[in-house]
């Protein structure tokens, strides 16, 4: 156990970045579907809903836009996610290190939760603008109105319209989503890693299926906490300027009034279907990159 606690934030940074790339490739198609379901317009009287559910949205997107449609807007998350996961895992490593009195200290689960929350604070600065751009690009593909040519064009137009605030719109909601969810994410992963480690073995020697299972379940626990603020954030970030003058309180009021509490769990199926494979891929990528870095640069 002591060996595992020697934390190298630098290695965490690089391995986390690689984990992030793995996560985007595995999870982006279902992310596109999640955002389209969360933001589809309410059908009028006598009209049918745009999508009946996750699988219907998947079928319609494939039929209309092919596989490429499922990977719409992926450039922004790849550019944003690589440094973001690098910073996220770095933040978690730092959070663990700050709470250790000596390098051999074994952290409790509440301490791991706190370290995870710190990583959520770290990532929001990168996450908020990336999410805003991603949501806008995913929406325009679904509605057919092409306003932005791509991620950079989207940044330029947002900046022109409302300055840096326009790009960072939804930051408070991103914090509300990511801080508790990141705590849950890392705590669950560490807990399952220990639970799945055979007697007398080190958690670093976990088998690939065990790492995939621990990572996938960490993703599910993370999103169980994150979905309600995520629904509010998707709504708020894609709404026309000035629609919600009081921020997320207005979004919450409108959602509860029009669609009830269940609407806070919109896109639940798509999120959970994506959470397991995407985060399993992320943690496997992280662990493999860590092993490689420990072998290639033991002194880093």
pLDDT tens, 283-295? 999 999 999 998 9
Token readout for 191 is: 């807990």
Q: List the beta strands (DSSP E) in 102-161.
A: none
Mean pLDDT value across residues 56-61:
90
Alpha carbon distance 203, 187 (integer Å): 14
Which among 78, 178, 89, 162 is positioned nearest to 125, based on CA atoms?
A: 178
Residues 6 or more apart whose Cβ sits within 8 Å of residue 289:
14, 15, 18, 19
Determine the pLDDT at residue 55. 87
Determine the pLDDT at residue 2. 37
Query: Averaging pLDDT over each range in 16-30, 141-155, 177-191, which range is the top one?
Result: 177-191
- Average pLDDT, rounded, for the chain: 88
User: In this structure, are residues 97 and 9 in contact, taking their beta carbons and an 8 Å threshold?
Assistant: yes
Determine the pLDDT at residue 288. 95
Determine the pLDDT at residue 174. 87
Determine the pLDDT at residue 1. 36
Alpha carbon distance 8, 58 (integer Å): 41
The continuous run of DSSP H or E covering 264 comes out as: none
Q: Which residue has the tokens 């209309």?
A: 64
Determine the pLDDT at residue 172. 84
Q: List the beta strands (DSSP E) in the chain.
A: none
pLDDT band at 5 (very low <50, low <70, confident <90, very high): very low
pLDDT tops 90 at residue 202? no
Query: Averaging pLDDT over each range in 21-25, 62-66, 184-188, 224-228, which range is the top one?
Result: 184-188
Alpha carbon distance 2, 112 (integer Å): 16
Token readout for 39 is: 């933001």
Alpha carbon distance 159, 175 (integer Å): 22
pLDDT band at 162 (very low <50, low <70, confident <90, very high): confident
pLDDT tops 80 at residue 80? no
Least confident of 19-28, 108-117, 278-287: 19-28
Mean pLDDT value across residues 163-185:
90
pLDDT tops 70 at residue 135? yes
Determine the pLDDT at residue 85. 92
User: In this structure, are residues 234 and 251 in contact, taking their beta carbons and an 8 Å threshold?
Assistant: no
Q: What angle do CA 127, 129, 133 make, to 5 degrees?
A: 115
Determine the pLDDT at residue 76. 76
Mean pLDDT value across residues 42-57:
85
Mean pLDDT value across residues 76-105:
87
Mean pLDDT value across residues 59-65:
90
User: In this structure, are residues 280 and 219 in contact, taking their beta carbons and an 8 Å threshold?
Assistant: yes
Mean pLDDT value across residues 69-75:
84
Mean pLDDT value across residues 198-204:
85
pLDDT tops 90 at residue 166? no
pTM of the model: 0.78
Q: Which residue has the tokens 């033991």?
A: 298
Determine the pLDDT at residue 146. 83
Determine the pLDDT at residue 47. 84
């Amino acid at each position: 156990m002591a060996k595992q606690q020697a934390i190298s934030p630098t290695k965490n940074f690089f391995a986390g970045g690689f984990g992030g790339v793995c996560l985007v490739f595995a999870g982006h198609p279902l992310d596109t579907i999640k955002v389209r379901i969360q933001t589809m317009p309410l059908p009028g009287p006598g009209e049918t809903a745009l999508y009946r559910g996750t699988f219907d949205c998947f079928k319609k997107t494939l039929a209309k836009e092919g596989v490429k449609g499922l990977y719409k807007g992926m450039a922004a998350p790849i550019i944003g996610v690589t440094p973001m996961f690098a910073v996220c895992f770095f933040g978690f490593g730092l959070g663990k290190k700050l709470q250790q009195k000596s390098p051999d200290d074994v952290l409790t689960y509440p301490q791991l939760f706190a370290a995870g929350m710190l990583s959520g604070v770290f990532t929001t600065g990168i996450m908020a603008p990336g999410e805003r751009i991603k949501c806008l690009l995913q929406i325009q593909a679904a509605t057919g109105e092409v306003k932005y040519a791509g991620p950079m064009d989207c940044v330029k137009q947002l900046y022109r319209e409302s300055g840096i605030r326009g790009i960072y719109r939804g930051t408070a909601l991103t914090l509300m989503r990511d801080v508790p969810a990141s705590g849950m994410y890392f705590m669950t992963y560490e807990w399952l890693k220990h639970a799945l480690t055979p007697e007398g073995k080190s958690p670093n020697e976990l088998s690939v299926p065990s790492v995939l299972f621990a990572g996938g379940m960490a993703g599910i626990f993370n999103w169980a906490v994150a979905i309600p603020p995520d629904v509010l954030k998707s709504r708020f970030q894609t709404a026309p300027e000035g629609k919600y003058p009081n921020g997320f309180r207005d979004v919450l009021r409108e959602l509860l009034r029009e669609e009830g509490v269940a609407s806070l769990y919109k896109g639940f199926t798509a999120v959970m279907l994506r959470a397991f494979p995407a985060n399993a891929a992320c943690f496997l990528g992280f662990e493999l990159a860590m092993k490689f870095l420990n072998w290639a640069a033991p002194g880093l």
